[in-house]
Structure 1
Amino acid sequence: LLLTDDAEHQRGRKLLMPAFTGPAMRSYRPLVEGLAKEAVQGWHDGQRLVTLDAMNAITLEVILQVVFGVTDEERLSVLRPKVTRIVDIDAGILLSWIFPRLRKVPPWRGFFTNLREVDDLLYAEIRERRAEHERGDLEGRDDVLSRLLRAGDDPEAAPGGDSGPRAADSTDGLSDEELRDQLVTLLLAGHETTASALSWTLHELGQDPVLLARATRAADEGDETFLEACLKEAMRLHPIIDFVARSLQSDQVVAGRRLPRGTTVTPSIMLSHSRESSFADAHAFRPDRFLDGEVTAGTWIPFGGGVRRCIGAAFSLMEGTVVLREVLQRFEVHTEKPTGPRLRNITNVPDDKAPVVLRAR
C-alpha cells in the first residue's frame, strides 16, 4: 500500500480499510491493553527505563499479536528476534536495492537471509490461516491478517475498473504475496514510529511536573482526550518523519510557482509543525493546543493527507493512548536530561533513547 499507485493503490486500500474501521479498533483495544498491562507490570520503583527500547518491545508485541495474529508463544519466540532484525537496520542496508550484488556479501547477505526466513514463517502462517478460513473457522479471530483474509468475501470490498493488477475480477481478495507485503508494510510503518512517538511523549511529560500531574489524573479518570493530545503534541514537536515525496499528477501552482505534471515535491512535515503562524510558541510542548481548536486542518500532518493518508493513523493513536494510560496509572516518570533527535533509518528517535526514572504511585 505504501509503494503502489493509482488503481493498484485504490484496490489495496479498499481491501485493507475494513481492518481499520471504528468497530475494528474497538475489537483490537482489549488485546493492546492486555499487552501494555503485562509489560508495565514487569517494571519496578526506581527503575531506569530506556523508553525507546521499552516502547519498541510493546509495539512489536502489538504487531505480532494484533496485526499478524500470532499468539502461540513458541512461534512468537521464533518471530521476535527475526522481525526485530528487519526493523533494526543501518541505513546502509538500503543500498542493496540500488546495487543488488551487495546482497551476496555481508552484512547485506545476513539481512536478506533473515528476510527470507521471516517470509517463510509468514507464508506458513498465511497458509494455515487461509485453511481456517476455508473451513469457516476465522469468524472468532479479530486480528488484522484474519480480517484481510475475509475482505475478499465482500463484493463491495474491492474496487471495480478495467486497469491495474487483478482489476478485472474486483471481488478477488489479497493473494498470499499481497498479504505478506501488506503485513511487512504494517510492521515497518507501525512499529518504531509509534514507539518513538510514545518515547518522546514520556520524555516531555517527565520534564514538566505540572503536565505530568495532569496526565496522571487523566489516566486515572479515563480522560483519553488529554492523553491523546499529549501524544499528538509530541508527534508535532518531534516529527517521526521529516518529509514525504509526491509526484504531481497534474500541473499545479504552489506559492506562485508553476510546477508541471511529473514534478516531485517534498512537503515538509518538520517545517509545517514548527511554523509560528500555525502553532504559537511552536517550540514548546503544549498539548492544550489540540484541545482548544488552535490546530487547523492541513498544519498537523504526521500521518500525511489526502488519499494517501496513513491507513493506520487511528490504530496508532489508539495504541499510543492505551499504552500511555497503562504506564501513568502505575508510575510517575522523571526525565534524566533533555535530548535531541537522531535519525535512525528514516525515523527520528530520541538521541539517547529517552531514559526516565520510574516512581511507583
Structure 2
Amino acid sequence: MTTTTPTPVTRQVTTLDSLPRPKISVAAWARLFAAPEASRRQLAELGDRFVLDVPLMPTMFWTSSPDDVRAVFGDKTRALSFGTALRRLAPHELIFGERIMSWWASEDHTAVRRKVAPAFMGKALRGYEPVMEDVARQMMRDLPTDRPIRFHAHARTLAREVIMSVVFGVTDGERRSRLAHHMTELDRLVGSRGLAVRYAASMAMRGRWLPFPALDRVLSGLDEVTYEEMAVRRASSDDLDRRDCLAVFLELARADDQGLMDDEMIAGFQRLLLVAGNDTTAATLSWVIERLARHPVVLQRLQQTLADGDDTYLDAVITETLRLRPTVPFTVRAVNHDVVLDDVFLPRGSMVFLYINGIHRRADLYDAPDEFRPERFVGVTPDPSHWLPFGGGINRCLGGQMAMFEARVLLRTILREFTPVAEATADEDQVASTIMLLPERRATVTLRRRTAPAAG
C-alpha cells in the first residue's frame, strides 16, 4: 500500500505489459462516457486492474483496488500529480487559469489548502445555512407540481442561486445580473461544439489547448465581478456580518503574511467553486431525488426523520446515493517519474485512473453493492479508500465537505414540502455530460406538495 521509487532491490513487480486489456481500447474508452454503467460491467470482467492503450493518449493504468487507492492517496514520492493530469485530460487550465493549475502542482499546495480550509468547514458552513435555506424556499415557489418535470434543470437553477448568494455573496442588483449572465454564458460555452473541438485537438496536441477568446471574455467578466465586489467590501465598514465564501477569503487574506492569498488567487478560487460547485451540486440533488422517487420506503423514513429534526438518515441517503451514482466516474494522476505503485511499475508519462464506478460496486466492500441501502451508512463514516466521490489524499476536493452540507440543507428544505414520484419503474442509468455523470432522463419525476409539511 505504498509508492516507492524503483531501486536495484529485487522484489516481485508487475509491469503494465502483463496486465489485461480490452480487445479494442479505443472502444472501451468511448464506452466509459457513452454508456458508463454498461462499461463498468464489461470492464469488471478484466479484474481489478487493466490497461487502456488509446492513440494520442498516455498509457492508462486503471484500478479498482482499495490497496492501490491507499497507495495513490498516500504517495510521498511526488511522482503522482493531479494537476498535471488535469492539464492533460480536462479543460481546467482554460477555465481556472494558469495560477490555479500551477498551485495544484506546487510546493505551496498544502499550505494554501490549510489557509482556505476554514471557508469549507464548521463555523463557515453554519453561517451559510440560512442563505441556502432562503434560496431553496424562494425557488420552491416556482417548482411545477403534479406533472412530470426534469428535476435536473431546476437543480441547476437552485445551485446557481446558491453560488451567487453563498460563494460570491453579491447583493448589488446590477452586479448580480452581470454575474448571472456570465454564468449562463459559461454553461453554454462549456457545453458547446467549440469546446468539444478544442478538447479533441488537445488530445492530439498532448494537453496543449487552442485559444478560446469567447471563453476568455466570460471568465474575465466573472473575475471583474469578483474584483468589484472585493473593492466595495474593503471600502465599506458594514462587511463584518457577511456570511459567504468571499467574506471568508477576504478575512483569510487580511491575516495572510506569506502572500499566498492575493486577489488573483481569491478570484481563482471563486471561479473554481463556481464551476465545480454548480454542476456537482445539481447532479447530486438530481440523483438523490431520482433514487428516493424509486424507493418510497426510504423516502417515507427520511421524511419522518426530517420531521423529527434528525439529519442522520438524510446524510446516509446522500452518502449511499454518491456511492451508487458518483458524479464523476474516476479520479486520475499523471506519473511524473518512474514509480512502483504497490507492486505495479508505472513508467514516467503514464497515468493512473482510480475507477470510482468500479470501487463503489465491489462486493467485498459493500454487501449487495447494486442495491440502494442508506442504512449501511447510518452512523458510519465511509472508508476513504472505499468511498471516493470527492477523490482523496491531499487532492481531495476542497469543497467536498461543503458539497455534502449544501446537499443536506437543500434536500431537507425541499423534502419537507414535496414528495417526488417516479414517472417510470426503470432506474435512470448514468449518462455522461462532458465528464459529469447525470441521470439518463435528468431525474424525471412528479413533485407532489405535502399536505402537512414537516416543521423544522
Instruction: Find the counterpart in structure 2 of residue 344 from structure 1.
Output: 433
CA contact (8 A) 2:431 2:438 kept: yes
User: Residue 153 in 1 paired to residue 153 in 2?
Assistant: no
Map of 2:309 onto structure 1 = 222
Cα offsets for 1:36-69 (capped at 9, x unmatched): 1111233354143321111111111111111111
Contact kept? 1:152, 1:171, Cα under 8 Å: no
Q: Write the deviation string for residues 112-149 of structure 1: whole angstroms up to 9, x where unpaired.
A: 333333333233223323434xxx54322121111111
**Pick aligned residue for 1:9 from 96, 100, 109:** 109
CA contact (8 A) 1:151 1:173 kept: no
Query: Equivalent residues in 2 for 1:127-146 (5 A)?
Result: 127-132=231-236, 136-146=237-247
Shift of 1:356: 0.9
Match of 1:32 in 2: 132
Matching residue within 265, 270, 274 for 1:187: 274
1:289–1:295: 8 Å Cα contact kept in structure 2? no
Deviation at 1:102, TM superposition (A): 5.4
| Greater displacement, 87-96 / 9-18 | 87-96
2:396 aligned residue: 309
Question: Are residue 356 (structure 1) and residue 445 (structure 2) matched?
Answer: yes
Pick closer, same or farther for the CA change 1:292–1:70 going to 2, 3 Å. closer
Aligned residue for 2:165, secondary structure, equals helix
Contact 2:112 2:260 in 1 (8 A): no
Cα distance between partner residues in 2 of 1:57 and 1:273 = 29
Q: CA deviation at 1:318?
A: 1.0
Scaled by the length of structure 2, what TM-score is found?
0.69
Q: Residue 239 in 1 paired to residue 326 in 2? A: yes
Structure 1 segments unaligned to the other structure (5+ residues): 156-169
Deviation at residue 204 of structure 1 after TM alignment: 0.8
Give me the whole-angstrom Cα distance separating, in 2, the residues matched to 1:297 and 1:101.
33
Q: Which amino acid aligns with 1:68?
A: F
CA distance in 2, matches of 1:173, 1:144: 17
Length, aligned pairs only: 340
| Matches of 2:381 and 2:109, distance apart in 1 | 33
Deviation of the 1:75 alpha carbon = 2.6
* C-alpha RMSD of matched pairs (Å): 2.5
Is the 2:121–2:402 Cα contact (8 Å) retained in structure 1? no
Q: Does 1:115 align with 2:219?
A: yes
C-alpha distance after superposition, 1:143-178 (max 9, x if no partner): 1111111113335xxxxxxxxxxxxxx432522221
Aligned to 2:65: none
Contact preservation (8 Å) 1:303, 1:313: yes
TM normalised by structure 1 equals 0.85
Residue matched to 1:62: 162
Q: Which residue of 2 aligns with 1:160?
A: none
Which residue in 2 is equivalent to 1:332? 419
Structure 1 residue matching 2:416: 3-state secondary structure? helix
CA contact (8 A) 2:335 2:349 kept: yes
Contact 1:28–1:143 (CA under 8 A) maintained in structure 2? yes
Are the structure 2 counterparts of residues 137 and 118 from structure 1 closer, same or farther at C-alpha, using a change threshold of 3 Å? Answer: same
Cα offsets for 1:236-256 (capped at 9, x unmatched)? 111111111123578654453
Higher alpha-carbon Rg: 2
SS of the counterpart of 1:120? Answer: helix
Aligned to 1:267: 354
Equivalent residue for 2:230?
Answer: 126
Distance change in 2, residues 1:96/1:44 (3 Å): closer
> How far does residue 355 in structure 1 lie from its aligned partner after superposition?
1.6
